[in-house]
Chain A
Amino acid sequence: MHSSEFIEPIRIATPAAPGVVRAALARAGRGFMTHVVPPLVIIGILVLIWQMLGSRPGAALPPPTKVVQDTLELIVSPFYDRGGNDVGIAWQLLASLKRVAYGYSLAVLVGVSLGVLVGQSTWALRALDPLFQVLRTVPPLAWLPISLAGFRDGHPSAIFVIFITSIWPIIINTSIGIRNIPEDYRNVAKVVRLNGIEYFAKIMLPAAAPFIFSGLRIGVGLSWLAIIAAEMLIGGVGIGFFIWDAWNSSRISDIILALFYVGLIGFALDRIVAFIANKVTRGTAAS
């Protein structure tokens, strides 16, 4: 999770002397060579192997060229809408993202609040921790039937599954962060006589922020994992349903394209939370 290397940002010198520009370009070029070229080479090799394996006669899975050929329509027009379930892949992804947004926001709100409670109060920790430790090991999909029974509708059930999947790391990390606030910070607050609200906003939240955000990052990853699985079962709309539907109608190329998008979006969600963490904690959270 912690990246030890990072690309030095190129600073813009105001009256850029030619030497400075050249040095900056050289630095950018080096950054490109060391950070962009290696993954490109590996991806190229993997695609090549995939192409060779997929092109053999009797191969079960299509090679990349065939995938692109089959899914060209989905790639070039992601926003088409022919009614019913026959909509572009972007709409499917957006539907899933919307569910994640609802479920995850709820989990952040409830998770951070419960985490603060458990972190602050030893009594609450003793009372709730055993419950958390057991419930957090329940797999996301095991929650689905019970929530379908409770809500009698697919949409709120999917949101609930996301909520219940992503809340545990948020609670646990928040409470650890609050418990680990150095005694000195508390003493500073006492000497200055900050009141409860000031202590919460000025000391507790910022001090625990690196821990809270690592919980939020794990949580967003889990909620994206959960939504795909949940949508396969509840049907209707969403990228998970799209994949299941493609399997049922043997559109293997569509599945491969969908997986590609799912991966990219999961990656993007993680980076967004990491970016916010970095902004909020001024670089004290691991990025």
Chain B
Amino acid sequence: MSNQNYLSISRVDMTFAGAGGAHPVLAGISLDVRRGEYISLIGHSGCGKSTVLSIVAGLLKATSGGVILDGREVNEPGPDRAVVFQNHSLLPWLTVYQNVAIAADKIFKGSRTAAERREWVLHNLAMVNMAHALDRLPSEISGGMKQRVGIARALSMEPKVLLLDEPFGALDALTRARLQDEVVRIQSGLGNTVMMITHDVDEAVLMSDRVVMMTNGPSATIGQVLGIPLPRPRNRIALAEDATYNRCRQEILTFLYEKQRKVEPVGARTSRPMPPMLTPSAIAAMKLA
């Protein structure tokens, strides 16, 4: 085990048995992630990005191949691979505080006192700026706030890898931009290793050290890996006119829309229109106008 391949996904295949025979989703996924690295997985919807994440989380078992994290094989879910789910998945009958405490209390039951655990929950909620709403129920706070609590819950587990499954997908553009900046700030402070699923090119370039591009399914695999050589901290407004930023963006767009053009079958369900995004390119467009 070295820092160079802290998290190793090796030759993972995934086949779902379904109606009409076996359905191959993933074929030959191999990826090494450094300790402290921020990795994004990008690809068209339905390509199997989330399946990769679920396999790393241990929620799904790969048909063949395996995942090794910090020298140990992953074969069940655990708090060392905390997941932030796309739809926050807070428990609606628990308050903001209790939603984080249910994880922290379970994981640190033997190792920390009740007072230390309480302190730790409060610390994590303060980190995502949710210390003011400890006793609110999830139904009483906004979507962005719910996602903050979901992030606090994942961080409170002190995971070796933080798994983010389209964490900003359901948020409006302004909330999304703020939360992206905060996740990057927290990640650079704590040095977490992060694996994020996204289908947003700007989000991937802005936040990641490397962007992993996936080909379309069935039998999806890694098509290309792009390092993002942008210094941190990154400023989304300054980046709008940055040549490197735009080159990276261009490269991912080319991969997604020319090499891996998604051909929708006729009569497929109509895709939901994406909300407008406050991305560097959008900011640049606004400046031009």
Say if A and B assemble together.
yes
* Chain A residues within 8 Å of B, Cβ to Cβ: 182, 184-185, 187-188, 190-194, 198, 202-203, 206-207, 209, 281-282, 284
Assess A282 versus B106: contact at CB under 8 Å? Given A184-B85, A184-B87: no
CA distance A209 to B102 in the complex (A): 18
CA distance A247 to B43 in the complex (A): 77
- Whole-angstrom distance from the CB of A180 to the nearest CB of chain B? 13
CA distance A192 to B85 in the complex (A): 14
CA distance A19 to B57 in the complex (A): 58
* Interface set, chain B 36-59, CB cutoff 8 A to A: 57-59
CA distance A115 to B89 in the complex (A): 25
A interface: dominant SS: helix
* Interface set, chain B 51-97, CB cutoff 8 A to A: 57-59, 76-79, 81-83, 85, 87, 89, 91-94
Do residues A192 and B102 form an inter-chain contact, with CB atoms below 8 A?
Answer: yes
Do residues B93 and A187 form an inter-chain contact, with CB atoms below 8 A?
Answer: no
CA distance A176 to B84 in the complex (A): 27
- Whole-angstrom distance from the CB of B283 to the nearest CB of chain A? 34
Q: Is B103 interfacial (CB-CB < 8 Å)?
A: yes
CA distance A209 to B91 in the complex (A): 13
- Whole-angstrom distance from the CB of A119 to the nearest CB of chain B? 18
CA distance A202 to B102 in the complex (A): 9
* Chain B residues within 8 Å of A, Cβ to Cβ: 57-59, 76-79, 81-83, 85, 87, 89, 91-94, 102-103, 106-107, 137, 139, 157
Do residues B102 and A191 form an inter-chain contact, with CB atoms below 8 A?
Answer: no
CA distance A3 to B77 in the complex (A): 42
List B contacts of A188 (CB < 8 A).
85, 89, 91, 103
List A contacts of B82 (CB < 8 A).
191
Q: List 17 A-B contacts (CB under 8 A).
A: A185-B89, A187-B83, A188-B85, A188-B91, A188-B103, A190-B58, A191-B59, A191-B78, A191-B81, A191-B157, A192-B106, A192-B107, A192-B157, A193-B78, A202-B102, A206-B91, A284-B92
Do residues B79 and A187 form an inter-chain contact, with CB atoms below 8 A?
Answer: no
List A contacts of B93 (CB < 8 A).
206-207, 209, 281-282, 284
Assess A191 versus B89: contact at CB under 8 Å? Given A198-B106, A202-B102: no
CA distance A184 to B165 in the complex (A): 12
Name the contact of B106 in the complex, choosing from A182, A184, A185, A193 (C-beta under 8 A). A193
Assess A190 versus B92: contact at CB under 8 Å? Given A184-B85, A184-B87, A202-B102: no
- Whole-angstrom distance from the CB of B262 to the nearest CB of chain A? 26
List A contacts of B83 (CB < 8 A).
187, 191
CA distance A283 to B164 in the complex (A): 31
List A contacts of B78 (CB < 8 A).
191, 193
Considering the complex of A and B, which 5 residue pairs feature the smallest CB-CB distances, nearest first? A184-B89, A190-B77, A206-B93, A192-B103, A191-B77
